[in-house]
Amino acid sequence: MATENRLEPASRPLSQCQEHGKLPAPPGRDLPVRGTSRNKPGMTTVSDYRPFDDAGVPRAIQSHQVGKLPPTIEWSGGRDGTLRLLDQTLLPEQVAVRECRSAADVCDAIRRLQVRGAPAIGVAAALGLCLELSRSAASGGVGDAGAWGRVGALLSAARPTAVNLSWAVKRVLCAIERAARATPRADALALWNAGFAEAVAILAEDVETCRRIGEHGAALVPEGGGVLTHCNAGALATAGCGTALALLYVARERGRRFQVYADETRPLLQGARLTAFELAAAGIDVTVVCDGVAAALMGTRKIDMVVVGADRIAANGDTANKIGTYGLAIAARHHGVPFYVAAPRSTFDRGLSSGAEIPIETRSEEELRHAGSRVVVARGAGVFNPAFDVTPAGMITGLVTEKGLLQPVTTGEIAKIFG
Ligand code: MRU
């Protein structure tokens, strides 16, 4: 699988860490996060996401679970533990976990989309960074913040479009830098502990953030109506209950009934394989349609709302999401259907003034040339396989964030949630 060359700067210099002064403190209280009750005993609520036990040993940490599946992301086994990722390329036929032992493993899993979705790859990369540096922590000696930076650069470059990836890596690097500054000649173990605590905070915050997005957006889901979604922006794409799908989960908890249409999402079928899977597992009425059906469904008044996730949102609200999202927005505008994007603040990149600056990943031709093991593109034809497109802010009815609904979608409204 190839990515195009327009990668993000590998990692931003550590000196930019002061930006993190504005980030919320890691949650340390009980939160009403439902749906985590299937997680293993001792790991059921956000308040349990304490990185270390009383003896200072890193605890096992896992994301929200979907149905009876293993969690999307799990850290298990203490300081020299492994990062276990539910292999999403095999769903729904096979449930398998990829066990990562190094940052290179995690980079590979991210590139292959074994873990995918903007928030999930951020959490995986943050924990992947800890994975790599656990060996030097064990061997003692003076901590080397530069080694963390080099590994962080590799992880940040694994996929270019979702800004959550470099955002999460940078957060861990900044935590390391703070620890190094606070204790000159801090040992490698102290730096590792600081990095791991930050990675766990990122995971825990994502659980809380997803829930809040769902709570802010649930009222938008029309009683008895039809909801169209694209790709997968659910529990499989986050550490929590999703972004776009969080609205549906919370609306359902509140007793609302509705019909979901999931675009199959060519070429990798995240809608058919993943969204349909997790909604069906939650008992939500879901019908898969091929991508070309969406406009016709709107034309026959079957769709009352479109809700999708995002990989990166520029300062003016232009939004990059899975290829095909822009076309949906055009169809929704034409048919007068409200078009919502649900995303956490970690998906906003206010350093970019518009969507024209968002790097768009181009993926391997092979993904398009094949449907399963069959060749479906005529020999001799070229193919073009961008993974994302950009929907202009003006076509988005509202942005649902953990801070509330932003409507209209303007630079000024967006700035308010970062105030
Ligand atoms: O290529 P993918 O499967 O990682 O693309 C994922 C999406 O486009 C999602 O909609 C987006 O990351 C939001 S996930 C909450």
Q: What confidence tens digit (pLDDT) does each residue in 289-310 have?
A: 999 999 999 999 999 999 999 9
Contact 222, 305 (CB under 8 A): yes
pTM over 0.85: yes
pLDDT band at 17 (very low <50, low <70, confident <90, very high): low
What is the spatial distance between Cα 339 and Cα 341, in angstroms, rounded to a whole number? 7
| Ligand 1 center from residue 141 Cα (angstroms) | 40
What the chain holds in terms of domains, given with CATH numbers, is 43-211 (1.20.120.420), 214-416 (3.40.50.10470)
Task: Classify residue 139 as exposed, middle or buried by CB count within 10 Å of its CB (0-12, 13-18, 19+).
Answer: exposed
Residue 255, phi-psi category: left (phi > 0), alpha (psi -120 to 50), beta (remainder): left
pLDDT for residue 12 is more than 50 = no
Ligand 1 pocket: which of 206, 322, 363 to mutate (most atoms <8 Å of CB)? 322
Ligand 1 centroid to 321 CA: how many Å? Answer: 7
- Residue, of 280 and 132, whose pLDDT is higher: 280
Atom of ligand 1 nearest to the CA of 342: 15
Counting atoms of ligand 1 from 1, which one is nearest the CA of 321? 8
For 202-217, write each residue's pLDDT tens digit: 999 999 999 999 999 9
Query: Annotated catalytic residue: which of 263, 311, 318, 389?
Result: 311
Q: What percent of the chain has pLDDT over 90?
A: 78
> Which candidate, 128, 131, 136, places its Cα nearest to that of 188?
136
Q: 172: CA distance to ligand 1 center in Å? A: 22
Residue 389 is among the residues annotated as catalytic for this protein: no
Give the Cα separation of 410 and 397 in Å (integer): 11
Specify the pairing of strand 73-76 against strand 61-62: antiparallel
* pLDDT tens-digit series, residues 136-171: 777 766 677 788 899 999 999 999 999 999 999 999
- Give the span between the Cα atoms of 95 and 26, in whole angstroms: 31
Whether omega for the bond prior to residue 26 falls within 30 degrees of 0, making it cis, is no
Asked whether 28 and 47 are in contact (CB, 8 A), the reply is yes
pLDDT in tens, 60-115: 999 998 988 999 999 998 888 999 999 999 999 999 999 999 999 999 999 999 99
For a substitution probing ligand 1, which of 72, 86, 116, 249 has the most ligand atoms within 8 Å of its CB?
A: 116
Query: Which residues does a 6 A CB cutoff place in the pocket of ligand 1?
Result: 113, 116-119, 162, 231, 233, 237-238, 243, 270, 308-311, 321-322, 387
Coil, strand or helix at 245: helix
Residue 97 CA: distances (Å) to CA of 57, 69, 321: 24, 10, 26
Tokens 């359902």 belong to which residue? 252
How do residues 29-60 score in pLDDT, each as one tens digit?
Answer: 222 233 333 444 433 345 568 899 998 999 99
Relative to beta strand 404-406, strand 398-401 is: antiparallel
Q: What is the SS3 assignment for 6?
A: coil
Q: How far is the CA of 233 from the centre of ligand 1 (A)?
A: 6
pLDDT (0 to 100) of residue 160: 98
Looking from the CA of residue 164, the nearest atom of ligand 1 is: 12
Distance CA 231, CA 37 (A): 26
